[in-house]
Amino acid sequence: MTQPRIYLDNAASSPVSPLALEAMWPFFRADFGNPSAIHSYGQAAKKALEEARRKVALALGAKSSEIFFVSGGTESDNWAIQSAVKMAKAKGRHIVTSATEHNAVIKPLEELVGQGYAVTFLRPDKLGRIDPSALEAALRDDTILVSLALANNVVGTILDIPALVKVAKKKKVLFHTDAVQAVGHIPVNVRDLGVDLLSISGHKFHGPKGVGVLFAKLPRLPHPYIFGGGQERGGRSGTENVPGAVGLAVALEEAVREFRSIDALIALRDRLIEGTLKIAGAELTGDPVNRLPQIASFVFSALKSSVHLINAMNEVGLCASSGSACSAAANEASHVLMAMGYPNNLARASLRLSLSRYNTPKEIQTVIELLPSLVNKAREKGR
Ligand X SMILES: Cc1ncc(COP(=O)(O)O)c(C=O)c1O
Rule CB under 6 A: which residues touch ligand X? 72-74, 77, 102, 104, 149, 153, 178, 180-181, 201, 212, 326
Using CB atoms, what's the residue nearest to ligand X?
73
Residue type, 330: A
User: Half-sphere exposure (CA, 13 Å, Cβ side) for 268?
Assistant: 25
3-class secondary structure, 319? strand
Q: Note the Cα 127 to chain centre separation in Å.
A: 18
State the minimum distance, in angstroms, from the CB of residue 326 to ligand X: 4
State the minimum distance, in angstroms, from the CB of residue 342 to ligand X: 19
Q: Which residues pair with 298 in a beta bridge?
A: 284, 351
Measured torsion, CA atoms of residues 271, 329, 318, 126, in degrees rounded to the nearest 10? -10
Between 202 and 222, whose beta carbon lies closer to ligand X? 202
Instruction: Please give the Cα distance from 48 to 69 (Å, whole number).
Output: 13
Cβ neighbour number for residue 169 with a 10 Å cutoff: 14
Catalytic residues: 326
Are 272 and 356 in contact, with CB atoms under 8 Å apart?
Answer: no
State the minimum distance, in angstroms, from the CB of residue 92 to ligand X: 26
Instruction: Please give the Cα distance from 207 to 253 (Å, whole number).
Output: 10
Residue type, 197: L
Instruction: Please give the Cα distance from 4 to 192 (Å, whole number).
Output: 43
Q: What is the DSSP letter of 335?
A: H
State the minimum distance, in angstroms, from the CB of residue 121 to ligand X: 16
Are 105 and 97 in contact, with CB atoms under 8 Å apart?
Answer: yes
Are 80 and 222 in contact, with CB atoms under 8 Å apart?
Answer: yes
State the minimum distance, in angstroms, from the CB of residue 199 to ligand X: 7
State the minimum distance, in angstroms, from the CB of residue 103 to ligand X: 8
Between 108 and 275, whose beta carbon lies closer to ligand X? 108
Between 102 and 206, whose beta carbon lies closer to ligand X? 102
Are 103 and 78 in contact, with CB atoms under 8 Å apart?
Answer: no
3-class secondary structure, 180? coil
